[in-house]
Amino acid sequence: MESESAQRKLKRKSRKMIIQFKTKKLDLSARTHITGVLNVTPDSFSDGGRFFNLEDAVSQGMKMVEEGADMIDVGGESTRPGSDPLPTEEELSRVIPVIKSMSAKTDVPISIDTYKAEVARRALDAGAQMINDISALRFDPGMKQVASEFEVPVILMHIKGTPKDMQKDPSYEDVIAEITEYLRQSIKIAEDAGVDREKIIIDPGIGFGKRLQDNLNVLKNLRKFSILGCPILIGCSRKSFIGRVLNLPVEERLEGSLAALAVAVMNGANIVRVHDVKESKRVVSLIDAVIRVE
């Protein structure tokens, strides 16, 4: 009789998760895929200001492509704890030139990291091929229509509250069950609006309205979210829970980020969202080899 771990491995190998973009098709069941983070902001928690001008941003994006990123996630508004919303026009002025320039240079899919329907629409017109919405289509009522109209993949993330107040004493009775139910409802919102189920990716939202123990619990139990039947994306890179466990500032969290990445991949992540693509690619490639060995 097969062991439970052997059955899980067989299920992971046999189950196909194909995400279709305009420029290419990615088989998420074949290996773990990497999304490179490109923050075009002056105030993001980890790299604010480093890639704020167009030339630096595009150069960094292309560097991540060369290092092995399968997707690039472009964001113009910081969603760090305590941050205020950014005016739509300011967000557009930051991301649209970067997306236009990068989409002309590479066929690697670009996602727009925004919760605003107008920003998503303009970004998709400019060459983006995916929406990454931290609110899982809940902050802006128009976002679900944009996702349906453009027929693009969409990442639905769990958040408790808003970036402004999400870390003001968040609490859960059962963090895994509550995140699962939130994402289940968001999948229904998307499907009711006409979004194809096969284009939905879920993200449990490490660091978004969660205590230290909640983040660790999500990582430990990540595979439980597979009950929703969608690819799982996880973003741990440089986040504060790593700093709290290791007592390190953001600029010294590479090893902790890679350790969290390894745990996530071993526990079922299909996509990892990272700042350090080269190092993450090496870790992911080794773990994939271990997971898939006969």
**Helix or strand holding residue 246 (H, E):** helix 240-246
Q: Residue 276: name the closest of 27, 37, 22 by CA.
A: 37
E strand spans, the chain:
18-20, 25-27, 33-39, 71-75, 110-113, 130-133, 154-157, 200-203, 233-234, 271-274
Sequence-distant (≥ 6) Cβ neighbours of residue 87 within 8 angstroms: none
Q: What's the distance, Cα to Cα, between the start and end of the chain in Å?
A: 17
Distances (CA, A) of 156 to 57, 81, 136, 265: 25, 19, 4, 19
Given 273, 278, 282, 292, which residue is catalytic? 273
Burial of 168 (0-12, 13-18, 19+ CB in 10 A): exposed
239 is catalytic: yes
Residue from 94, 239, 253, 281 carrying the catalytic annotation: 239
Sequence-separated (6 or more) residues with CB below 8 Å from residue 108? 23, 24, 65, 69, 70, 71, 72
3-state secondary structure (DSSP) of residue 72: strand
Question: Other C-beta atoms within 10 Å of 189: how many?
Answer: 17
CB 218 within 8 A of CB 180: no
Instruction: Identify how many contiguous H helices and E strands the chain contains and give both numbers.
Output: 10, 10
| CA angle 87–140–203, rounded 5-degree value | 105
9 is a catalytic site residue = no
> Which residues are catalytically annotated?
239, 273
